[in-house]
A and B are shown apart, each in its own frame.
Chain A
Amino acid sequence: MTIRPILSSLSRNKFGAVLIATQIAITLGFLANALAIVEYRLSWSSRPSGMDEANLFSISSDSVDHPADLAARVHTDLATLRALPGVVDAFADYGYPFSGGGWISSVNLTVDQKTETTETAVYLADEHALSALGVHLIAGRNFTADEITDRREGDKPTPDVLIVTKTLADRLFPAGNALGQTIYVTSDQPERIIGIVDRLQAPVIEANGATSTIAEHSVLGPYRPIDERSDYLVRVTPGQLDAVMKSAEKALLTLNGDRILRIRSMEERRRTAYRGDHGLVVLLISVCTALVAVTGFGIVGLTSYWVTQRRQQIGIRRALGATRRDIVAYFQTENLLIAGLGAAAGVLLAIALNLWLVGSFEMVRMPGRYALIGAAIMLILGQLAVLWPARRAASIPPALATRGG
């Protein structure tokens, strides 16, 4: 199969060829970036939280009656929850992964630092927190009961011990000697790192922007939050979630009915938190599918038109001895040339578009492989789209040449 006759025929049909190449280039530009965004949002929204999510639920309680002794109520609530059959452990938290907002604080290595070292989420946690969350301690120890203090809204914290996530520990002490070091979080009192957990997400759900860079930075402070509103996290033995969620609500209402309870499983919280990401993924995938389909149909349409236009020439070629395969190969090679040109332009367009998106939308960089995957998809699409019109062309009888159209 020689390329020359194809080129000469193309030069007579420049407009159509340019049309197809442009479509392929633009489709590729969008497709590659969309794929990169889809991949990033999927991995962002499915990254592990560090918690035993399948067996966790949260129960928030707002008091309506303003009890005089808030601390007593929290203590009783917790004792009741922990005593329920099927409960592994429970604690009163203050913000949790997926909450989308919480306490974010600067972290410093020295007391009089001008610019902060980094930022971290701060969770309040008593000695039950680690087992209630199901996070794994990989170094050091847990809090002891006598290290925990009750903390009311507006109290200035002065903790002297902290548990941090591995990511934060490595960020602060790249040498890996974080355990036992002192850092400054939220206050100008030195705080000693007594434990390191392998993973615990910060309550950051925005996939882009400044906070997404500290999404694995968490600190646990040895406090039990005492407030009009309490959020309890309860971990159950596997399979008991639904049953315990019901019995927990009943138990708390029996203790005190004058409160507003909200109960949600951790899996539901994850779904809610990343609903926007999943929506965007579905939307991008459907728009891209439509885009690819439209481009494919465009190729089918234009190639069919060319086939109709060249019926007579094809008949002559057939009469002169070209096989059906030769005719199909002709259109396939032609499409490969056009699509190849379009794909080359598309790769450049995809990169340019990505640079612009990174600059103006805080988007993540697109890995180069997506442009190549996109180019491959476009070339395959072109070959598939051209198949039907090419087959039709191949079925043109050689006798047509003698009939004169």
Chain B
Amino acid sequence: MFNYYCRLALSSLKRNAVLTTLMIVVIGVGIGASMTALTVFRAMSGDPIPAKSQRLFAPQIQSRRPDDRDRAGEDGVQVSVSYIDAMAWMQARAAYRQTALYATTLSVRPVEPRQKPFKATVRVVYTDFFPMFDVPFLFGSAWRAADDESHSAVVVLTREMNDQLFGGKNSVGKTIRLDDESYTVVGVLSDWLPIPRFYDLQIVPFGVGDQMFIPFTRAIERQMVVSGNTSCSGDGGSAFPNILRSNCIWLQFWVELRTPEEIAKYRLYLSNYASEQQRTGRYPWAPHTQLRNVTQWLSYRHVVPNEVDLLVLLAFGFLFICLLNATGLILAKLMSRAGDIGVRRALGASRGAIIYQCLVETAMIGLSGGALGLLLTALGLAVARALLSKDFVTLATLDFADIGIAILLAVGATLLAGLYPTWRAARVQPAWQLKAK
């Protein structure tokens, strides 16, 4: 029966080619627009570290007067931490793993003498960073904890940086010059680019990432300038060494906590720490701390730009219009064949059979529209990448999930649009139609 309905549908669709094409185009355009927006949105709001987003936490402490909204999230707590607090938390070792981090820019003098020197974005971290964030290594490994303590001049390169500096060869043990000092390569990463770069949202969270990693202790010793926001609020200047001894906030801090008990324990540690600061008069206001995991952190920091939200809204409004339109067109299509339906009914087809037939026809339109929609989505994404700034759409490409969503959306939406016309078709009176002939 299904095959017969498919044949019926095909012949019916062929009979009114203009209307059929119009329907497929309308649905295809609607699906294309909404899927483009949705894919961009999904890429930007996706979970950057699915295996651990519930285990990694960003502790926060109120480090400004409660009425000072400087660098504060919507709950009034600052989103960066000061060096003093970060060091206290590092030394307390109250979490399973922890790291303070910031970004700096260093000049790199390539090993090859004919290459020009260039600037690189360098991420400054403790060695816990690598296991915490599941950073994969191609060659070598992270530096040892002892290197953190001894401020060692060691560096971990990303794969791209290793390709650029060493032609992709295993460079572990080689040295490079950063700001005219020698650093020994201890590891090279394989491809790793969490989108968005959740662990530091101060600098463009969707752009090209960190190019190399060096020990935090080394960077502090060499007073490497922060690329990003430093906020001092009348607390001296935002330069070394003042930012080490003041309440200037400029660091990010992350901890890994494995169990609910560890989380509870860490919360307690944080609030005790804040109370202690109130007692000593460093932060004399009521203590306020927060501990958010990656998922909560991304939504708290509003990572997805307003423009993208707006586009998703617009695209789905557009899809809705397309569906209203499709409803009208399907209605016209089905009702122009009221005569055929009347004959079929008169020859004994049940209402259910008519509904089945109409739905098969509608679903075929939906499938074709979905296929066209996917093509348009690919096109739309290419255009979006070309139009919007790079930090907007980095990895917005179609994956299998997107293709599935597009087809389901197309067929589902078209069937929905076809409901009313189908119902009308099923109500066709056989006698009336025959009489009119």
A interface residues with partner B (beta carbon < 8 Å):
15-16, 19-20, 22-23, 26-27, 29-30, 34, 62-66, 153-156, 208, 258-260, 275-276, 278-280, 282-284, 287, 290-291, 294-295, 297-298, 301-302, 304-305, 308-309, 357, 361-363, 405
Indicate which residue in B19, B306, B310, B387 contacts A301 across the interface (CB closer than 8 Å).
Answer: B19
In the complex the two chains form, what is the Cα distance from A63 to B314 in whole Å?
A: 48
In the complex the two chains form, what is the Cα distance from A304 to B328 in whole Å?
A: 11
In the complex the two chains form, what is the Cα distance from A282 to B307 in whole Å?
A: 13
In the complex the two chains form, what is the Cα distance from A361 to B240 in whole Å?
A: 38
- Given known A154-B240, A154-B242, contact A34–B324 (CB-CB < 8 A): no
- Given known A294-B325, A298-B329, A361-B310, contact A287–B26 (CB-CB < 8 A): no
Judging by beta carbons under 8 Å apart, are B335 and A294 in contact?
A: no
Q: Which residue of B lies closest to A281 (CB)?
A: B387
Judging by beta carbons under 8 Å apart, are A20 and B328 in contact?
A: yes
B interface size (C-beta, 8 A): 49
Q: Which residue of A lies closest to B238 (CB)?
A: A154
- Given known A260-B116, A290-B33, A298-B26, contact A305–B331 (CB-CB < 8 A): yes
Judging by beta carbons under 8 Å apart, are A283 and B331 in contact?
A: no
In the complex the two chains form, what is the Cα distance from A308 to B180 in whole Å?
A: 82
Judging by beta carbons under 8 Å apart, are B328 and A298 in contact?
A: yes
Judging by beta carbons under 8 Å apart, are B388 and A287 in contact?
A: no
Judging by beta carbons under 8 Å apart, are B225 and A283 in contact?
A: no
| B-side contacts of A278, CB under 8 Å | 387
> Is there a chain A Cβ closer than 8 Å to B436's Cβ?
yes
Judging by beta carbons under 8 Å apart, are A301 and B22 in contact?
A: yes
Judging by beta carbons under 8 Å apart, are B328 and A301 in contact?
A: yes
In the complex the two chains form, what is the Cα distance from A23 to B33 in whole Å?
A: 17
In the complex the two chains form, what is the Cα distance from A258 to B109 in whole Å?
A: 10
Judging by beta carbons under 8 Å apart, are B237 and A15 in contact?
A: no
Judging by beta carbons under 8 Å apart, are A305 and B107 in contact?
A: no
Q: Which residue of B lies closest to A286 (CB)?
A: B383
> Is there a chain A Cβ closer than 8 Å to B239's Cβ?
yes
Indicate which residue in A20, A22, A294, A357 contacts B26 across the interface (CB closer than 8 Å).
Answer: A294
Judging by beta carbons under 8 Å apart, are A16 and B328 in contact?
A: yes
Q: Which residue of B lies closest to A282 (CB)?
A: B387
| A94: min CB distance to chain B, Å | 13
Judging by beta carbons under 8 Å apart, are B314 and A30 in contact?
A: yes
| A40: min CB distance to chain B, Å | 13
Given A30-B318, A260-B118: 20 more A-B contacts, CB < 8 Å: A23-B324, A63-B107, A66-B180, A154-B238, A154-B240, A258-B117, A260-B107, A260-B117, A275-B388, A280-B388, A294-B26, A294-B318, A294-B321, A295-B321, A298-B26, A298-B325, A301-B22, A305-B331, A361-B310, A362-B306
> Is there a chain A Cβ closer than 8 Å to B360's Cβ?
no
| A-side contacts of B311, CB under 8 Å | 283
| A-side contacts of B310, CB under 8 Å | 357, 361, 363
| B-side contacts of A282, CB under 8 Å | 387
| A-side contacts of B307, CB under 8 Å | 276, 280
Judging by beta carbons under 8 Å apart, are B309 and A298 in contact?
A: no
Judging by beta carbons under 8 Å apart, are A309 and B388 in contact?
A: no
Indicate which residue in A154, A301, A309 contacts B329 across the interface (CB closer than 8 Å).
Answer: A301
| B-side contacts of A309, CB under 8 Å | 335
Judging by beta carbons under 8 Å apart, are B117 and A15 in contact?
A: no
Judging by beta carbons under 8 Å apart, are A294 and B322 in contact?
A: yes
| B-side contacts of A156, CB under 8 Å | 236-237
In the complex the two chains form, what is the Cα distance from A309 to B118 in whole Å?
A: 73
In the complex the two chains form, what is the Cα distance from A302 to B331 in whole Å?
A: 8
Q: What would be 28 A-B contacts, judged by CB atoms less than 8 Å apart? A: A22-B324, A26-B317, A26-B324, A27-B321, A30-B318, A64-B109, A66-B180, A153-B239, A154-B240, A258-B117, A260-B116, A260-B117, A260-B119, A279-B384, A283-B384, A283-B387, A284-B314, A287-B33, A290-B29, A291-B321, A294-B318, A295-B325, A298-B329, A301-B19, A305-B331, A305-B332, A363-B310, A405-B436
